[in-house]
A and B are shown apart, each in its own frame.
Chain A
């Protein structure tokens, strides 16, 4: 269970309040216009923002005072998921070891996970030579390898064209089938939520609602 209990946050003029309970396995989509606070909630869960009050818990344990990297979470951002100067291999490797010290088993894992997102042989390529969809798949490969129970998706398809978006959704769905994580995605497009089979949550002025 991922619970957000009475979390409060003052950002400039706006005061945000969040309370929500999500199942350990499930796909949830936060819908709402820009400025409705859906990204703020995601940033709070991920740990990029610190709540003023309240608690965020995973399986009953408070995680809101942990550093982002120490939380049982992995995030797929809209863009800038990859360091442009590092090879695909190193970009994924950083998800396993932040100092990039990899055992040979881990190195093998990287190659097999690349295989599973359909990018075998891409190890030494640089992000600059990849298409938008390929970059997102590399980032996804890193998410898979991190094996975290919570997967946050921050507008993961907005930078992609229609075909690539479809491919990406198929890929994500099969991963969710396999690993059964708790997925929270932020999107402005209800079609994405439907395609992912997500439970829709809508952001209201003062609360999050199951739609």
Chain B
């Protein structure tokens, strides 16, 4: 009939794969070629390298343990107190930490926990010596700030998945809180812990902005930051490649590990899913309250929830308060600010669009492989290619692109193009994770019908997929836009006085202690990200009559 004018199913996936491979393998080759022979033995005997690798592992391990150790009681307290005022607000703020740019949150954390911050002022009035933030402490505080809410949310979802009948049974059997934890709650969350630990470890291990701003000199440097320093300040490509290779092998090891724990439903949770089931009926609330009755449990629950709320909200509050200062108008009107703002919006939207194009291109072919041809494994491998950035650090990728393009163009004048490429690859795993479920689910429902009616190619996307998927597509676009808008790693490598985005401008202003200007910049970036996140979802994901039969 009309099949002669339709592209074959693999076209979009092949195109996406080609772009991804060109943008990753060529730079990777360029960088290995440039590095030439590396004396690995000398490298590993070097005390600087040893310290950097050791510190990367140490801070990631500590961050993971701390995040999970705090997240568990927080999730338990929130689950035990389903009717506490402000609960849904706190839970929503938990997911906000996914939207707030790292560098912005760091500014808020410094304002609260820094040398002259609220926290140390409070300690000062109590005559307690202040706690220095920079170094390992600062890195841990920031990592917990970002990852604890993520973990708490996932654990809370699991705790709320415990059926109401179990609670009634618990009450009937007269189980005490400790037994409830042992026999009901711990089994419900245990399965999530390995995958969560792995995710948090990976995020902290490759964390860049936090370590760069809060890490103190060579004693508190991770591999990722060391790569940046080797490239940007020493131009020691050998060292950068060597460190990149170490980073790469550890990341691949972590990825392999994650396929092992995948049996426990690892990494399958969606951090952007809405926490459901908070609307338990009155009877169950009463029941929950009666299990943890008594002053001790009341005090414990309230303390945990209030302390968490203060920990998460105070940096945001401090940021907002410090952003409203005498320099507000002047900074907002500055050309440097406006240029950076303009660049940020352009880079963010371009990266997100490219990321979505690649993601949808991949999924279009993956869908055909998995649903229509039933080649499950082949489909999953194709999809996995979108996660390449998880093993190839953005800074290594950036270096490769730099080496590759240096003979042909002034790399710093096409900085934004390179930043867009890197940022779009960084957002791609998120795009795939958000879209994978909805795309496969709707295809599963409708594939036979679609096939029997002969709906294919572009008209399938226009008539069937777009209306069904615009909500998750809107979310994917919003997430990848804010992610790119707040990213510091790619622009730190290619940015210059001529080309800056807001995160880089903020970093520079923080670095030169122009704190009032920095505060305004941070506030501006925060508002930009929130506006982008909300408006993109509203515009793209505008809910059509979404009735899932």
Residues of A within 8 A of B (CB): 46-48, 67-70, 73-75, 77, 79-86, 90, 94-95, 98-100, 126-129, 135
Q: Complex: how many Å from CA A75 to CA B455?
A: 15
With A77-B449, A80-B449 already in contact, the answer to whether A127 and B454 are too (CB < 8 A) is no
CA distance A142 to B467 in the complex (A): 21
Q: How far is the CB of B403 from chain A (nearest CB, A)?
A: 47
A-chain residues with CB within 8 Å of residue B1 when the two chains form the complex:
69-70
Which among A70, A80, A82, A98 has the greatest number of chain B C-beta atoms within 10 A? A98
With the chains together, A85 CA to B465 CA distance in Å?
10
Residues of B in contact, count (CB < 8 Å): 24
Q: Let me know if B452 and A68 touch, CB within 8 A.
A: yes
- A86–B467 CB distance below 8 A: yes
| The 5 nearest A-B residue pairs measured at CB | A69-B454, A128-B547, A85-B467, A84-B549, A98-B455
- The reply to whether B453 and A94 contact each other, CB–CB distance below 8 Å, is yes
Q: A77-B449, A81-B449, A86-B463 are in contact. Are A68 and B454 (CB under 8 A)?
A: yes
Q: Considering the chains assembled together, what is the distance between the CA atoms of A85 and B442 in angstroms?
A: 11
Residue of B nearest to A142 (CB): B453
Q: Chain B 455-495, CB within 8 Å of chain A: the 1/0 string?
A: 11001000110011000000000000000000000000000
Cβ-neighbour of A83 out of B2, B446, B454, B459 (below 8 A): B446
- Complex contacts, A80 vs chain B, CB 8 Å: 445-446, 448-449, 549
Apart from A83-B446, A98-B453, A127-B549, 12 more pairs, CB < 8 Å:
A48-B452, A68-B454, A69-B453, A81-B449, A85-B467, A85-B546, A98-B454, A99-B455, A100-B459, A126-B545, A127-B547, A129-B547
- Pairwise interchain contact B549-A82, C-beta atoms closer than 8 A: yes
A128 touching B549 by the CB < 8 A rule? yes
Residue of A nearest to B545 (CB): A126
Distance of A74 Cα from B451 Cα, bound (Å)? 11
Instruction: Enumerate chain B residues within 8 angstroms of A46, measured Cβ to Cβ.
Output: 448, 452
User: In the complex, which residue of chain B has the Cβ closest to the Cβ of A48?
Assistant: B448
Chain B proximity of A148: nearest CB distance (Å)? 10
Q: Are A75 and B2 in contact (CB under 8 A)?
A: no
Say if the beta carbon of B295 comes within 8 Å of chain A: no
Query: CA of A55 to CA of B402 in the docked complex: distance in angstroms?
Result: 58
- Total CB contacts across the A-B interface at under 8 A: 80
Q: Does B498 contact A (CB under 8 A)?
A: no
Report the Cα distance A75→B3, complex, angstroms.
20
Measured CB to CB, the closest approach of chain A to B486, in angstroms, equals: 33
- What are 5 inter-chain pairs, A to B, with CB distance below 8 A? A70-B454, A85-B544, A94-B463, A98-B453, A128-B547
Q: Which residue of B lies closest to A127 (CB)?
A: B549
Q: Does B548 contact A (CB under 8 A)?
A: yes
A126 to B448, CA, bound (A): 20
Question: How many angstroms between the C-alpha atoms of A100 and B464 in the bound complex?
Answer: 11
Give A20 Cβ to nearest chain B Cβ, in Å.
Answer: 21
Give residues 71-92 of B contacting A (CB, 8 Å).
Answer: none
In the assembled complex, which residues on chain A have CB atoms less than 8 Å from the CB atom of B459?
98-100
How many Å from the CB of B125 to the closest CB on chain A?
60
Chain B positions 1 through 19: 1 when the CB is less than 8 Å from some CB of chain A, otherwise 0? 1110000000000000000
Of B446, B453, B467, the most chain A CB neighbours within 10 A belong to: B453
Q: Is the interface of B mostly helix, strand, loop or mixed?
A: helix
Report whether A84 and B451 are in contact in the complex, using a CB–CB cutoff of 8 Å.
no
CA of A86 to CA of B449 in the docked complex: distance in angstroms?
14
Chain A residues within an 8 Å CB radius of B446:
80, 83
Q: Across the interface, name the chain B residue whose C-beta is closest to A139.
A: B449
| Nearest residue, chain A, Cβ from B466 | A85
Distance between A84 CB and nearest chain B CB, rounded to angstroms = 4
Chain A residues whose CB sits within 8 angstroms of the CB of B463 once the complex forms:
86, 90, 94, 99-100
A24 vs B452: C-alpha distance in the bound complex, in angstroms? Answer: 21
Residues of chain B within 8 A of A83, CB atoms compared: 446, 449, 464, 468
What B residues does A81 contact at CB under 8 A? 449
Contacts of B2 in A (CB 8 A): 98-99
Chain B residues lying within 8 Å of A75, measured Cβ to Cβ, are 448, 452
B549 neighbours in A (Cβ, 8 Å): 79-80, 82, 84, 127-128, 135
Q: How far is the CB of B469 from chain A (nearest CB, A)?
A: 10
Nearest chain-A residue to B445 (Cβ)? A80
* Closest B residue to A154 using CB positions: B448
Q: Assess whether A126 is in contact with B449, with CB atoms less than 8 Å apart.
A: no
- What's the Cα separation between A46 and B449 when bound, in Å? 11
| Residues in B whose Cβ lies below 8 Å from that of A126 | 545, 547
Q: Which residues of B contact A67 (CB under 8 A)?
A: 3, 451, 454
Q: Which B residue sits closest to A94, measured CB to CB?
A: B453
CB neighbours of B451 from chain A (8 A): 47-48, 67-69
Q: Contact partner of A84 among B448, B453, B456, B547, CB < 8 A?
A: B547
Residues of B within 8 A of A82 (CB): 549
Q: Is the CB of B448 within 8 A of A77?
A: yes
Query: In the complex, how many angstroms separate the beta carbon of B254 from the nearest chain A beta carbon?
Result: 34
Residues of A with C-beta under 8 A to B464? 83
Bound: A48/B449 CA distance, A: 10
The interface residues of chain A lying within 8 Å CB-to-CB of B449 are 77, 80-81, 83
Closest-by-CB residue of B relative to A130 is B549
Chain A residue at minimum C-beta to C-beta distance from B463: A100
B453 contacts A85, C-beta separation under 8 Å = no
- Output the least CB separation between A196 and chain B (Å): 21
- Chain B residues, CB < 8 A from A135: 549
Smallest CB-CB separation from A90: which chain B residue?
A: B463
User: What is the CA–CA distance of A99 and B455 in the complex, to the nearest angstrom?
Assistant: 7
Question: Which B-chain residue is minimally distant from A96 (CB atoms)?
Answer: B453
A200 to B467, CA, bound (A): 42
Q: Which residue of B lies closest to A70 (CB)?
A: B1
Shortest beta-carbon distance, B357 to chain A, in Å?
23
Q: Mark B63-74, 1 if CB is under 8 A from A, else 0.
A: 000000000000
Name the A residues within 8 Å of B547 (CB-CB).
84-85, 126-129
When chains A and B are docked, how far (Å) is the Cα of A127 from the Cα of B547?
A: 8
Looking across the interface, which residue of chain B has its beta carbon closest to that of A80? B445
Q: Produce 1/0 per residue, B431-446, CB < 8 A to A.
A: 0000000000000011
Q: Are A98 and B456 in contact (CB under 8 A)?
A: yes
A126, B545: Cα distance in complex, Å: 8
A94: chain B residues within 8 A (beta carbon): 453, 455, 463
- Residue pair B454, A85 in contact (C-beta under 8 Å): no
CB distance from B380 to the nearest CB of A (A): 19
Q: Which residues on the B side are within 8 Å of A47 (C-beta)?
A: 451-452
- A-chain residues with CB within 8 Å of residue B448 when the two chains form the complex: 46, 48, 68, 75, 77, 80
The complex places the Cα of A128 from the Cα of B548 at a distance, in Å, of 7
Return B74 CB to nearest CB of chain A, in Å: 38
Task: Return B281 CB to nearest CB of chain A, in Å.
Answer: 26
- Give A129 to B545 CA distance when docked, in angstroms: 11
